[in-house]
């Protein structure tokens, strides 16, 4: 990425990976909830259940550490 400090470069890459990971998880959970609503004959009531909300919360917390991890790893490797 040019003249960027290795830790900053790693943090930027980590943020991108975290955003992609969270977005993909959210998309998959919403898709699963939509399929469940259709099976229950309530296609207008697409709601995430408690397990899915907890799963999304866990992924969000993990995504907070991904940029820090990548920054440290890039700094150590460089």
Question: In terms of Cα–Cα distance, which of 12, 22, 31, 28 is closest to 74?
Answer: 12
At residue 42, the pLDDT reads: 87
At residue 78, the pLDDT reads: 85
At residue 45, the pLDDT reads: 86
What are 31-42's pLDDT values in tens digits?
Answer: 999 999 999 998
At residue 1, the pLDDT reads: 64
Q: 11: buried, middle or exposed (CB in 10 Å: 19+, 13-18, 0-12)?
A: buried
Question: Cα 4 to chain center, whole Å?
Answer: 25
Question: What is the CB neighbour count within 10 angstroms for residue 34?
Answer: 12
Q: What is the pTM of this model?
A: 0.87
Query: Low-confidence residues of the chain, pLDDT below 70?
Result: 1
């Amino acid at each position: 990425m040019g003249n960027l400090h290795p830790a900053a470069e790693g943090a930027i890459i980590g943020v991108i990976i975290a955003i992609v990971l969270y977005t993909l998880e959210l998309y998959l959970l919403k898709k699963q909830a939509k399929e469940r609503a259709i099976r229950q004959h309530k296609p207008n009531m697409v709601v995430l259940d408690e397990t899915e909300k907890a799963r999304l919360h866990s992924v969000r917390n993990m995504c907070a550490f991904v940029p820090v991890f990548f920054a440290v790893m890039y700094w150590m490797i460089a």
